[in-house]
Amino acid sequence: MLRNLKIKNLALVDDVQVGFNEGLNVITGETGAGKSLLMGALRLLLGERADKSMIRTGETSCSVYAEFSLKDPTHVDAILADIGIEPCDGGLLIIRRVITETSNKTMVNDESVTLNVLKRLGDVLVDMHGPYDHQSLLDPATQLAILDAFGTVNETKAAYQTEYKNYRDLQQKIDALNSDHEEDLERQIEFLVYRVAEIDAAKLSLEEDAEVEEEHSIIANSQQVIEWANGTVNALTEGEGCAFDGLVAAQQCLNQLIKHLPESQEWHDEIESAVTSVQEVVRSIETAAAGIDGSPERMQWLDDRLTTYQSLKRKYGPTVSEVLQNGETWQQQLSELRGRDKKREELQSEQDQVFKAVEKAGLALRGLRENVADHLSECITKELVDIGFEHGFFDVQLNSCEPGPSGLDEIDFGFAPNAGEDMRPLRMIASSGEISRVMLATKAVLARHDQIPVLVFDEIDANIGGEIGGAVGRKLAQVAECHQLICITHLPQVAACGTTHLAVSKIVQDGRTFTEVRLLGPDSRPAELARMLGGGTEVSLQHAHEMLDQA
């Protein structure tokens, strides 16, 4: 249960601590006193987004704090374990939020968490029902969720949703294949065919790219290259005073020097090696120069080839490697486009098989729903009798529909509030007060089946009064026997049924407005009920005592 709620500097609240107990906790007070601030603070603790405008005027931060004492913390501990936080110690869970103008700090058991974690915890801790939430009862999706919660069909529903997701995934793939018009497809294919054919015809290679550039550079400068080559040969072996003649002359001198200076043999050998090197260099130069094909035909071929490489790199990628890679990608895309019809047939065949699985899982889910629909109708009808619809009748109608995210079923809650009236859809006949009571009856039924420890009703008794108000109060007290229930109410008949009564009031001190919350005891409670009845007269006070005695 929710044990304590502390609020500091939130709107009109300066510093308030509220204690709650098991059973039915009622909260009363004048309109505008700040009752909704308590619910707002609780919503913040359960993951609702915060705004700096919530901070009390003149302050730099606000904070909210809640203590939950859990008899069975299994679901909460599972969430904590999932995010790496230690389980609740003795079932104690503490949630704290601090909001400043520039930051938002969220803590669970003194560990920082995200808002998403708070929302997950809120789903298993508190079921909040606001003053307008009863309108959701008219939504078919909400109605189906109520039936499924009552019937505990989670596993069967999850199995169906798995099959349905597979079906939808295949449909999306088929839709993607069908998304383009045939004319657009033809244009795409023609465009890719042209690109792939142009790259294939060019027969590009990384090696040739470098070789063509190198040879083109040589031939473009062939006359000068040959002149430099001939000049080198002349300087080494053919010209007057060439290096070769000098080396030979030196070698002849060394032949004579060896006879008188033995170490000259080593010099002779080095000169001989130099002569051989010069001869080899000259042969290499002559061979390279002779191999230069400077013919116009060769130059034209190189020009054309170089232009091909440069053109394709401008069009399809800055390097030959990227051009070739893009060509492979476009070839793959071309194959996929040409194979669309075959792929579409394969997907359609696969989807037909999955559809059979969807139908099978959906029919299994429908069977469970049909088994519990009548029982839910009976249970809600019984609850409605207790809160003033003595001749009312509630019905759950299921009809077949095309496969959807929630199954093969459409649902409609039917309602006949009075004897002799035909059953009609709830959305067509119910007033806001009637819908509020139907929602309470529904919550009363579901409360016996779910594990959420805390139920919060914010003005669920709107637009009702008199004896019906007393019936609603007794029903709330009955629900509170298996859940902690917190109820904001304007009805004294409901307030009288509470086991814990909190009164919210607004006071002005030193020119500033404050909200305060008081726990009412046996002596102060009749006066609050008398105020709710219309004043502090002896008659209203006597009536308040009678209401408390009868509750």
Give the number of domains in the chain: 3
Asked if 124 and 4 sit in the same domain, the reply is yes
Q: Any idea of the CA torsion for 108, 112, 115, 116, to the nearest 10 degrees?
A: -90
Asked if 22 and 107 sit in the same domain, the reply is yes
pTM of the entire predicted model? 0.65
Q: Is residue 237 part of a domain?
A: yes
Q: How many CB atoms neighbour CB 372 within 10 A?
A: 17
Q: At residue 2, what are phi and psi to the nearest 5 degrees? A: -80, 120
Tell me the C-alpha distance between 68 and 121, whole Å. 11
**C-alpha to C-alpha distances, 191 to 41, 188, 333, 336, 464, nearest whole angstrom:** 62, 5, 11, 14, 72
Tell me the C-alpha distance between 484 and 38, whole Å. 16
Query: What is residue 226's predicted lDDT score, i.e. its pLDDT?
Result: 61
Q: Is residue 431 part of a domain?
A: no
- Secondary structure (H, E, C), 38-68: HHHHHHHHCCCCCCHHHECCCCCEEEEEEEE
259, 280, 312 — which closes off a domain?
312
312, 336, 369 — which closes off a domain?
312
Q: Is residue 108 part of a domain?
A: yes
Asked if 461 and 532 sit in the same domain, the reply is no
Helices (H), 387-505: 426-429, 432-447, 466-479, 492-495
* Nearest Cα residue to 468 out of 532, 386, 392: 386
Asked if 525 and 514 sit in the same domain, the reply is no
The first and second tokens of residue 341, run together, are 């019809």
The first and second tokens of residue 448, run together, are 């016996």
Q: Is residue 195 part of a domain?
A: no
Amino acid at 519: L
Query: What is residue 133's predicted lDDT score, i.e. its pLDDT?
Result: 65
- Residue indicated by tokens 């800055």: 318
Q: Is residue 401 part of a domain?
A: no
- Residue 176's SS3 state is helix
Query: What is residue 158's predicted lDDT score, i.e. its pLDDT?
Result: 94
Give the residue numbers spanning the domain of 535.
521-551
Strands 484-488 and 454-458: what pairing?
parallel
Asked if 50 and 122 sit in the same domain, the reply is yes
| Cα of 385 vs its chain's centroid, Å | 44
Asked if 207 and 108 sit in the same domain, the reply is no
Containing H/E element for 508? Answer: strand 500-509
Asked if 78 and 123 sit in the same domain, the reply is yes
Asked if 495 and 538 sit in the same domain, the reply is no
Tell me the C-alpha distance between 493 and 499, whole Å. 13
Asked if 73 and 34 sit in the same domain, the reply is yes
Q: Any idea of the CA torsion for 173, 175, 177, 179, to the nearest 10 degrees?
A: -140
Q: Is residue 229 part of a domain?
A: yes
Q: How many CB atoms neighbour CB 330 within 10 A?
A: 18
Query: What is residue 134's predicted lDDT score, i.e. its pLDDT?
Result: 64
The first and second tokens of residue 342, run together, are 């075959």
DSSP notation for 92-150: EEEEEEEEESS-EEEEETTEE--HHHHHHHHHHHEEEE-TTGGGGGGSHHHHHHHHHHH
What is the edge-to-edge ordering of all strands in the sheet holding 2-10? 13-19, 2-10, 61-69, 92-100, 104-108, 111-112
Asked if 537 and 458 sit in the same domain, the reply is no
Q: Which residues pair with 428 in a beta bridge?
A: none
Helices (H), 339-449: 340-386, 426-429, 432-447
Query: What is residue 306's predicted lDDT score, i.e. its pLDDT?
Result: 87
Tell me the C-alpha distance between 459 and 130, whole Å. 7
312, 327, 354 — which closes off a domain?
312
Asked if 3 and 125 sit in the same domain, the reply is yes
- The one-digit pLDDT tens for each residue of the chain (551 residues) are 999 999 999 888 888 999 999 999 999 988 777 788 888 899 999 988 888 888 888 888 999 999 999 998 999 999 999 999 999 999 999 999 999 988 889 999 999 999 999 999 998 899 888 766 666 778 888 899 889 988 889 899 999 999 999 999 999 988 877 766 666 777 888 889 999 999 999 999 988 888 777 777 776 655 566 667 666 766 777 777 787 777 777 778 878 878 777 787 888 888 788 878 877 887 787 677 666 666 667 778 878 888 899 999 999 999 999 999 999 999 988 887 787 778 888 899 999 999 999 999 999 999 999 999 999 999 999 999 888 888 889 999 999 999 999 999 999 999 888 777 778 888 786 566 777 788 888 888 887 777 788 988 887 776 676 778 888 898 899 889 888 999 999 899 999 999 999 999 888 887 788 888 999 999 999 999 999 888 768 888 898 888 888 87
Q: Is residue 87 part of a domain?
A: yes
| 389 Cβ neighbours under 8 A, 6+ residues apart | 417, 437
Q: Is residue 325 part of a domain?
A: no
Q: CATH number, domain at 24?
A: 3.40.50.300
Q: Which residues pair with 4 in a beta bridge?
A: 19, 67
**C-alpha to C-alpha distances, 257 to 246, 263, 269, 385, nearest whole angstrom:** 17, 9, 13, 138
Query: What is residue 213's predicted lDDT score, i.e. its pLDDT?
Result: 79
* Nearest Cα residue to 144 out of 378, 408, 364: 408
Asked if 505 and 527 sit in the same domain, the reply is no
